[in-house]
C-alpha cells in the first residue's frame, strides 16, 4: 500500500493548482473557525476572570446574577446564615463593584473594585510589589498590573488616587491569572473600605465565598442556600453560568455559530468542489488503473489518503495561521481576548474531518462507478 499511497500523493501534490486551491479552502475555513471560536473562548475566559482570580470553591449570590460583574447586593444575614450551615468550613463576604478614578489630567477612568474580607483577605492577589498587610493602611489599595494598568498612568507604591472623591493610596502592585473582559483596571482593597468609598444600595454583599468542609458537602450547601432564596454555585458552575449568558443571551453564541457554519460551508464548497474536479479530471485514468489491476479498495485508499492528507495539511496551516495571528495581536494588544483551547481545536478538527469525508465520499462514488470497459470504449 505504501507505493500506492506515494502514487496518490504525487498525483495530488503535483497538480499544484488544485492542491493549492484545496489547501487554501481548508486553511481559510479552519482559520475562520478557529479565530471565531478562540475569540469567543477568550471572551468567556476573561468574563470569568474574577471567579478565576478569587478562586473560591462555592459562590453564594442572588439568583438573578448572570455574570460576576453584574452582582446583586445581598443583606448581611445571608453571610451569617451561610456560616451557620452544615458542611460549611468558612464563609466570607466579597464586594465587587465599579468606581471612577480621577486622573492627573482631570479625566476619569472606570475601575473595578474588589473588596476582600477584612479578616481573612480571602481571594487576595499575588503581590509583585509591596506587602499584603499594607492593604489595612489608611486608604490602601492594590493595583493589578495587567494590560489595563497603564490606564491609571502606571501608578507605583505611594501613588495617590482620587476614587469617588475619596483619597486612595497605592500600597501594592499585584498580578492575577486572568485580566478582565471590559478593558478597565482592577483595584483590590478591604471589604469595609470598598463599601465606604463606593456609593452603594441598601445591601452591600456582592457574594459570599464559601469553603465547604468537603466536596461532598457542596450539594447540601446548595440546597440550604436555596431555602434562603439565594443560589450557591461552584466555581465551575458560575463560570458555566457566565458562559451560558454570553452564548445564549447576548447573541454572541449565535453569531459564533453562524460564522463557524459559514466557514465550514466555504471550506466544504471550495475544497469539496475542487477535489471533485480533481477526481473527474483523473476519472478515466483511475478507470485505466482499474483495468490494469488495481483493486477497488486500493482506489478507495488512494482517494481517502488524498482527501485526508489535504484536509490535515489545511488543518495544520489553518491552526498555525490562527495561532500566529493571535500571538501577533497579543503582542500589540496585551488584553486581546482570544484563546485557542483544546475545544476550539477539536471543533475545527471535527469539521475538517467532515470536509474530508464528504469530499472523499463523492470522489469514491465516482471512481467506484467507472468501469474499465468504459475506458476501453473511449
Partner 1 sequence: MPNIAIQATGLVKWFGEDEAKTMALKQVSLEVQFGEMVYIVGPSGSGKTTLLSVLSGILRPNEGKVLVEGVDIWGLNSDQLADFRLGKIGFVFQDFHLFPRLTTAENAAIPLILKKKDWNEAIGQAKKYLDIVGLKSRADMPPVKLSGGEQQRVAIARALSAQPDVLIMNEPTASLDGDTGQAILSFVHKNVLNKDRCIIVVTHDDRINEFATRILKMEDGKLMGAEGKAA
Q: Which residues sit at the interface with partner 1, rule CB under 8 A?
A: 1-4, 6-7, 10-11, 14-15, 282, 284-285, 287-296, 298, 371-373, 375-378
Nearest to 311 by CA among 70, 23, 53, 101: 23
Cell of 267: 471550506
Smallest separation (angstroms) from partner 1 to the CB of 356: 21
Smallest separation (angstroms) from partner 1 to the CB of 270: 21
- Give the residue with the Cβ less far from partner 1, 266 or 288: 288
Smallest separation (angstroms) from partner 1 to the CB of 265: 29
Crossing angle of the two packed helices 16-47 and 342-369, in degrees rounded to 10: 150
Burial of 104 (0-12, 13-18, 19+ CB in 10 A): exposed
- Give the residue with the Cβ less far from partner 1, 6 or 156: 6
Question: Considering just the CA atoms, what is the radius of gyration of the chain in Å?
Answer: 29
Smallest separation (angstroms) from partner 1 to the CB of 370: 12
Distance between CA 36 and CA 30 in Å, rounded?
10
| Spatial CB neighbours of 81, under 8 Å, sequence gap ≥ 6 | 228
Smallest separation (angstroms) from partner 1 to the CB of 284: 6
- Give the residue with the Cβ less far from partner 1, 133 or 284: 284
Cell of 193: 473600605
CB 146 within 8 A of CB 176: yes
- Give the residue with the Cβ less far from partner 1, 8 or 338: 8
Distance between CA 130 and CA 140 in Å, rounded?
11
Smallest separation (angstroms) from partner 1 to the CB of 17: 11
Q: Under DSSP, is residue 143 helix (H, G, I), strand (E, B) or coil?
A: strand
Can you say whether the dihedral through the CA atoms of 290, 291, 293, 295 is positive or negative? positive
- Give the residue with the Cβ less far from partner 1, 10 or 213: 10
Amino acid at each position: 500500500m505504501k507505493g500506492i499511497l506515494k502514487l496518490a500523493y504525487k498525483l495530488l501534490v503535483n497538480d499544484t493548482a488544485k492542491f493549492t486551491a484545496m489547501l487554501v479552502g481548508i486553511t481559510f475555513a479552519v482559520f475562520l473557525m478557529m479565530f471565531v471560536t478562540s475569540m469567543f473562548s477568550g471572551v468567556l475566559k476573561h468574563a470569568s476572570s474574577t471567579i478565576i482570580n478569587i478562586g473560591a470553591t462555592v459562590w453564594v449570590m442572588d439568583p438573578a446574577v448572570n455574570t460576576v460583574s453584574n452582582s446583586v447586593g445581598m443583606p448581611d444575614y445571608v453571610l451569617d446564615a451561610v456560616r451557620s450551615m452544615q458542611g460549611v468550613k468558612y464563609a466570607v463576604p466579597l464586594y465587587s463593584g465599579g468606581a471612577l478614578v480621577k486622573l492627573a489630567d482631570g479625566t476619569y477612568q472606570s475601575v473595578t473594585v474588589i473588596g476582600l474580607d477584612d479578616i481573612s483577605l480571602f481571594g487576595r492577589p499575588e503581590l509583585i510589589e509591596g506587602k499584603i498587610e499594607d492593604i489595612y493602611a489608611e486608604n490602601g489599595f492594590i493595583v493589578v498590573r495587567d494590560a489595563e494598568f497603564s490606564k491609571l498612568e502606571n501608578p507605583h507604591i505611594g501613588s495617590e488616587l482620587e476614587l469617588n472623591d475619596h483619597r486612595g493610596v497605592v500600597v501594592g502592585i499585584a498580578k492575577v491569572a486572568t485580566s478582565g473582559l471590559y478593558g478597565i483596571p482592577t483595584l483590590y482593597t478591604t471589604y469595609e473600605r470598598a463599601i465606604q468609598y463606593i456609593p452603594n444600595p441598601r445591601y452591600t454583599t456582592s457574594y459570599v465565598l464559601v469553603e465547604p468542609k468537603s466536596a461532598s458537602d457542596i450539594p447540601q450547601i446548595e440546597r440550604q442556600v436555596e431555602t434562603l432564596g439565594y443560589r450557591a454555585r461552584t466555581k465551575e458552575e458560575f463560570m458555566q453560568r457566565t458562559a451560558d449568558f454570553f452564548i445564549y443571551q447576548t447573541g454572541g453564541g449565535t453569531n459564533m455559530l453562524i460564522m463557524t457554519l459559514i466557514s465550514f460551508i466555504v471550506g466544504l464548497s471550495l475544497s469539496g468542489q475542487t477535489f471533485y474536479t480533481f477526481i473527474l479530471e483523473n476519472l478515466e485514468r483511475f478507470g485505466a488503473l482499474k483495468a490494469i489491476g488495481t483493486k477497488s479498495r486500493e482506489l478507495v485508499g488512494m482517494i481517502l489518503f488524498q482527501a485526508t492528507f489535504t484536509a490535515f495539511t489545511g488543518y495544520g496551516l489553518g491552526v498555525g495561521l490562527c495561532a500566529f495571528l493571535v500571538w501577533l495581536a497579543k503582542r500589540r494588544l496585551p488584553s486581546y481576548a482570544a484563546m485557542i483551547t483544546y475545544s476550539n481545536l477539536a471543533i475545527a478538527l471535527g469539521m475538517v474531518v467532515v470536509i474530508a469525508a464528504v469530499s472523499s465520499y463523492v470522489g469514491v462514488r465516482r471512481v467506484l462507478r467507472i468501469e474499465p470497459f468504459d475506458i476501453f470504449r473511449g
